[in-house]
Amino acid sequence: MKINSKIRYGLRTMIEIASTSDVNGILQKDIAKNQSISLKYLDSIILSLKLKGLITNSKGKGSGYKLSRAAEEITILDIYTAFEQITFVDCICNKKFCDRSEDCPGRDYWIEMKKGFENMLLKKTLAQIIDKKSIIAKNHINK
Amino acid sequence: MKINSKIRYGLRTMIEIASTSDVNGILQKDIAKNQSISLKYLDSIILSLKLKGLITNSKGKGSGYKLSRAAEEITILDIYTAFEQITFVDCICNKKFCDRSEDCPGRDYWIEMKKGFENMLLKKTLAQIIDKKSIIAKNHINK
DNA sequence: TTTTTATCCTACTAATGTTATAGGATTAAT
DNA sequence: ATTAATCCTATAACATTAGTAGGATAAAAA
């Protein structure tokens, strides 16, 4: 079980966008260059992030990408699900996938595990990943 | 990202073996029948579980499979890793997989996430999955 | 208003991974 | 010996992934 390349590149792309200091945002070609991702492949990554509403841009010459909201308000679950739903096993979404679904201790467990996994991704924000110091600050406030 | 069929069948196989009341254990062909897994495919599932040391059997006619230790002492992580290592991303195991590894916030996160996932699988035992009542009992004792 | 820069979008393909099946070798109880 | 059962390697069909190709579209700049 591997995290696929779109999700990996997607996270790196979000980190890149969140990290830029340019008020006009960052160009796709610069993300591609900085992150060593082909411009064409990055196309589809960025499209997914846009459709999920995580980033915005204008079109045409001179445009640049920015986050749609603060990095503190973007979770890894947001980024992950821009590319795929978390399923783990098909019978979670579709009971008819397996005729044991009605009474299956295995299925019950996978459902529980899926929730735990989602929760883990939900608890982490893009801001926390970019700046370790912000975690310390947050913890301090929470106390 | 999906849990593959070997792990899914592997869990069901372990549940089946743990649930049998026969002191001689359960035959491979009966597991196959009860769980609707082909005898041949089950071959490789069982081989992995044996190599991991989770189940034992004698050979030849009349043999049967049993757990190597109590279901309370077998975690889902044990079962999962009988089939594959938890990697998520290749650069975790092998820094050379990507030349950014040395200083990559993304990689740092995946490592953290992997640990969280492992921990989740480690905290759950086969016994807990089979018998919900045992969880209640355990919780009671822990209090 | 033409040119240029850049994203948007669909289709395709090579490589890889998954899910089995096939065929027989080996083991040990009967 | 016979038979019931596992052990083990190879292979094949199928699905998914990772990435490329080619052009359409949009808007800033000249």
pLDDT digit string, tens, across residues B18-61? 998 888 889 988 999 889 899 989 989 999 999 899 999 877 67
pLDDT at B98 over 90: no
- Footprint on protein of nucleic strand D, Cβ below 7 A: A 2, 4-6, 38, 40-41, 43-44, 58-63; B 1, 27-29, 39-40, 43-44, 46-47, 50, 57, 59-63, 65
Percent of chain B with pLDDT over 90: 53
Q: Output the average pLDDT for chain B.
A: 86
pLDDT of residue A20: 86
The alpha carbon of residue B64 is apart from the nearest alpha carbon of chain A, in Å, by 22
pLDDT at A94 over 90: no
Average pLDDT over residues B79-87: 92
The alpha carbon of residue A18 is apart from the nearest alpha carbon of chain B, in Å, by 12
pLDDT digit string, tens, across residues A21-31? 888 889 888 89
Query: For residue B131, what is the nearest residue in chain A, using CA coordinates?
Result: A105
pLDDT at A141 over 50: no
Residue A75 bridge partners (DSSP)? A125
CA–C1' B13–D9 (A): 23
CB of B76 within 8 A of CB of B121?
yes
Q: How far apart are CA B97 and CA B58, in angstroms?
A: 43
Using pLDDT thresholds of 50, 70 and 90, give the confidence band for residue A138.
very low
Higher-confidence residue: B64 or B17? B17
Average pLDDT over residues B61-78: 90
Q: Are strands B55-56 and B66-67 parallel, antiparallel or unpaired?
A: antiparallel
pLDDT of residue B100: 80
Asked whether the CA dihedral A106, A108, A114, A117 is positive or negative, the reply is negative
pLDDT at A48 over 60: yes
pLDDT at A140 over 70: no
Using pLDDT thresholds of 50, 70 and 90, give the confidence band for residue A103.
confident
Q: How far apart are CA A128 and CA A72, in angstroms?
A: 7
Six-digit token string for B5 = 């069929």
Contacts of B58 (CB under 8 A, 6+ apart): B64
Contacts of A60 (CB under 8 A, 6+ apart): none
Question: Nucleotide D25: nearest residue by CA–C1'?
Answer: A60
Query: For residue A90, what is the nearest residue in chain B, using CA coordinates?
Result: B2
pLDDT at A81 over 90: yes
pLDDT of residue A132: 58
* Chain C: bases < 7 Å from a protein Cβ: 4-11, 18-23, 27-30
CA–C1' B5–C19 (A): 8
Higher-confidence residue: A85 or A139? A85
Name the residue among B17, B12, B75, B77 with its Cα closest to residue A101.
B12
Q: How far apart are CA B37 and CA B12, in angstroms?
A: 10
pLDDT of residue A139: 46
Phi-psi region of A36 (alpha: psi -120 to 50; beta: other; left: phi over 0): left
pLDDT of residue B132: 58
pLDDT digit string, tens, across residues B2-18? 999 999 999 999 999 99
- Which residues 10-69 in chain A show a CB within 8 A of chain B? 11-12, 15, 36
Average pLDDT over residues A124-140: 69
- H/E stretch holding B78 reads helix B76-83
Using pLDDT thresholds of 50, 70 and 90, give the confidence band for residue A13.
very high
CB contact under 8 A, B109 and A129: yes
Name the residue among B75, B79, B66, B71 with its Cα closest to residue B131.
B71
What pTM was computed for the model? 0.87
